[in-house]
Amino acid sequence: MTSKIRIGFVSISDRASSGVYQDAGLPALEEWFTRALLSPWQSITRLIPDEQALIEATLIELSDHEHCCLILTTGGTGPAPRDVTPEATLAVAHKVLPGFGEQMRAVSLKYVPTAILSRQMGVIRGQSLIINLPGQPKAIKETLDGIFAAVPYCIDLIGGPYIEANPEVLTAFRPKSAQHNPK
């Protein structure tokens, strides 16, 4: 029996976490991954305010204790004073992968010129890949569509589970030597 792939979803918003409005980030993430993955998976979800220490503690918990190979945050990546998701992500990172931030901004720039204001990043902590996504459901989808092809191979390289994407939705790219041969 194969255990399910564990994926962390962290929605970061003062207003959604205090009930001022309903969180839209976690449902958007659930929906996208339900369509995109063939491998059995489960989400470990958190909804928290824009507090740097709490974001850091949550990322550490999902990485070190919940053993999520992939952690997606949504929200808190802009230039406003309360936007501290990138600071928290950097603080718990072992390695920064600058290509994720570059590519996410390049993807969003096709839709809005203000994409250059986003400070989204992708980092590695232990055996977890952590990626900051935007806050809006539409932008979450656009961003994941634009970067996910590289995610499964990244998780291979850091010692995580083999993730199979649904080829009708997207193609996970791996060099030939890294492709599993189903028997």
Residues at the contact surface with a second copy, assessed by CB under 8 A: 78-81, 95-103, 105-106, 109, 112-119, 122, 124, 129, 147, 149-150, 153-154, 157-159, 173-175
Q: CB of 132 within 8 A of CB of 89?
A: yes
Shortest Å distance, C-beta 68 to a second copy: 16
In the complex, the smallest distance separating the C-beta of residue 120 from a second copy, rounded to whole angstroms, is 9
Which residue, among 12, 6, 27, 7, has the nearest Cα to 89 in the 3D structure? 12
Shortest separation between residue 110's beta carbon and a second copy, angstroms: 13
The sheet with strand 5-12 has its strands ordered as 41-48, 5-12, 70-74, 128-133, 122-125, 95-96
CA dihedral 141, 143, 146, 147 (to 10 degrees): -120
Comparison of 45 and 166: residue with beta carbon closer to a second copy: 166
- Closer CB to a second copy, 2 or 22, in the complex: 22
79 versus 167: smaller Cβ distance to a second copy: 79
Of 17 and 108, nearer to a second copy (C-beta) is 108
152/174 Cα distance (integer angstroms): 8
CA separation for the pair 110, 99 (Å, rounded): 17
Shortest Cβ 140–a second copy spacing (Å): 16
